[in-house]
C-alpha cells in the first residue's frame, strides 16, 4: 500500500474535526508530521480530485467543521454548510472540458453513418468524394483536424473511450486547469488524427482513443519527471494500456471488431502526450 500526499497544513492547525469528518465518510486517510508540517495522506488516488476541491473550499471558509463534545458537526453561524463529496453531476461541472468532450463523443457516435458525418471527417467532401488536405485547409475547414476524435463507430467504442476520458481526463483538467487541458486536447487530437491519416492514407477514421493514449503518455512521463498526486495512477493501469496498444498493433483485435483499429492514432497520441509532458515539466506544480 502506498500512501499519497494530498495536502500539507501548518503544524499548529487543529485537524481533528477534518479527520473525523473524513473518517465518518469512510475515507481511509492518515495525518503525519513531515518537515514541521502536517501531511494529509490517502490510499485511493481516485478520491484525490474531489478531496482537493473539498479542501480548497474548506480553507477558503466555504465549509466549516465544528467538533463538539458528542463528536458531531454543526453548521457555522455564518451560514456555511458542512457538505459531503460532490455527486456525479457536481463532479461533471467541476471538469467542464472533459464533460463536453464526452458529450461530443456521444453526439459523434450518433452521426456516424449519416449524411452529417461528412462535416466532421479529416478531409472535406465534395460530390461524395474526399478532397486533398491542402484543398480542405484552403477552404477554411480547419476544424476537421480535430473533429474525427468525436466520431465513434458503435456503443462499445464510445463507452470505452468516454470511460477512460472520465478516469484520466479529469485528473489532467484538475492538474492543468480547463484552458490548458483544452489546449492539450486540441494539440494531441491533431497529432493523433494526422498520424492516422499519414499512415493509412484515408480519412474514414475516428475516435477519442488517440487522445486517451495522449493522456497515458502524459501521465507516464509526468510521474517520472515531476510526480503529482493528481496523476498518480497505478503502474498496472499504464502497463495494461501499453499492452493493449501493442496487442492492437498485431492485428489480432481487428478480427473481433467491425473495421480496424486506428493504431497510428494511438501511437501518435501517446507520443504527443509524452512530448507535452516533457515541455510542461516545470508547470502544474501546485
Full set of structural domains in the chain with CATH: 4-85 (3.30.70), 89-279 (1.20.1540.10)
pLDDT at 257: 63
Distance CA 271, CA 100 (A): 24
What value does the mean pLDDT take over residues 129-136? 92
24 C-beta neighbours (distance < 10 Å), count:
12
Question: What is residue 82's predicted lDDT score, i.e. its pLDDT?
Answer: 43
Distance CA 227, CA 220 (A): 10
Residues 22-42, mean pLDDT to the nearest whole number: 82
Question: Residue 121: its pLDDT value, please?
Answer: 95
pLDDT at residue 71, rounded to an integer: 43
Provide the pLDDT confidence category of residue 127 given band limits of 50, 70 and 90: confident
Which residue, 273, 102, 123, is CA-closest to 187?
273
Q: Does residue 116 surpass a pLDDT of 90?
A: yes
- The confidence band for 17, taking pLDDT boundaries of 50, 70 and 90, is confident
Res. 67 pLDDT band, cuts 50 70 90: low
| pLDDT score for 161 | 94
What is the mean pLDDT of the segment spanning 2-20?
A: 83
Q: How confident is the model at residue 138 (pLDDT cuts 50, 70, 90)?
A: very high
How does pLDDT run across 199-252, given as a tens digit for each residue?
Answer: 988 888 999 999 999 999 999 999 899 887 778 888 888 999 999 888 888 877
Give, to the nearest 10 degrees, the angle between helix 155-164 and helix 96-111: 170
Please give the Cα distance from 271 to 249 (Å, whole number).
15
User: Quick check: is 209 catalytic?
Assistant: yes
SS3 for 65?
coil
Catalytic status, residue 266: yes
State yes or no: pLDDT of 46 exceeds 80: no
Catalytic-role residue among 29, 157, 228, 266: 266
Cα 123 to Cα 14: distance, rounded to the nearest angstrom: 60
Query: Which candidate in 29, 195, 209, 228 is catalytic?
Result: 209
Amino acid at each position: 500500500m502506498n500512501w499519497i500526499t494530498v495536502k500539507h497544513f501548518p503544524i499548529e492547525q487543529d485537524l481533528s474535526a477534518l479527520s473525523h469528518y473524513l473518517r465518518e465518510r469512510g475515507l481511509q486517510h492518515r495525518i503525519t508530521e513531515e518537515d514541521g508540517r502536517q501531511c494529509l495522506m490517502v490510499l485511493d488516488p481516485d478520491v484525490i480530485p474531489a478531496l482537493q476541491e473539498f479542501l480548497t473550499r474548506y480553507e477558503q471558509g466555504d465549509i466549516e467543521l465544528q467538533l463538539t463534545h458528542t463528536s458531531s458537526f454543526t453548521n457555522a453561524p455564518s451560514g456555511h454548510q458542512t457538505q459531503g463529496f460532490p455527486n456525479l453531476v457536481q463532479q461533471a461541472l467541476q471538469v467542464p472540458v472533459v464533460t463536453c468532450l464526452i458529450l461530443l463523443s456521444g453526439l459523434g457516435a450518433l452521426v456516424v453513418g449519416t449524411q452529417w458525418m461528412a462535416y466532421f471527417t479529416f478531409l472535406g467532401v465534395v460530390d461524395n468524394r474526399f478532397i486533398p488536405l491542402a484543398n480542405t485547409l484552403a477552404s477554411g475547414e480547419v476544424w476537421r483536424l480535430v473533429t474525427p476524435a468525436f466520431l465513434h463507430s458503435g456503443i462499445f467504442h464510445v463507452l470505452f473511450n468516454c470511460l477512460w476520458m472520465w478516469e484520466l481526463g479529469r485528473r489532467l483538467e484538475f492538474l492543468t486547469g480547463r484552458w490548458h487541458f483544452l489546449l492539450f486536447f486540441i494539440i494531441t487530437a491533431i497529432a493523433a488524427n494526422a498520424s492516422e491519416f499519414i499512415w493509412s492514407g484515408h480519412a474514414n477514421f475516428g475516435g477519442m482513443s488517440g487522445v486517451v493514449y495522449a493522456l497515458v503518455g502524459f501521465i507516464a512521463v509526468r510521474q517520472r519527471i515531476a510526480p503529482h498526486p493528481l496523476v498518480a495512477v497505478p503502474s498496472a493501469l499504464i502497463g495494461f494500456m501499453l499492452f493493449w496498444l501493442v496487442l492492437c498493433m498485431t492485428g489480432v483485435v481487428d478480427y473481433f471488431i467491425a473495421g480496424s483499429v486506428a493504431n497510428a492514432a494511438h501511437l501518435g497520441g501517446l507520443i504527443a502526450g509524452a512530448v507535452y509532458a516533457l515541455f510542461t515539466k516545470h508547470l502544474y506544480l501546485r
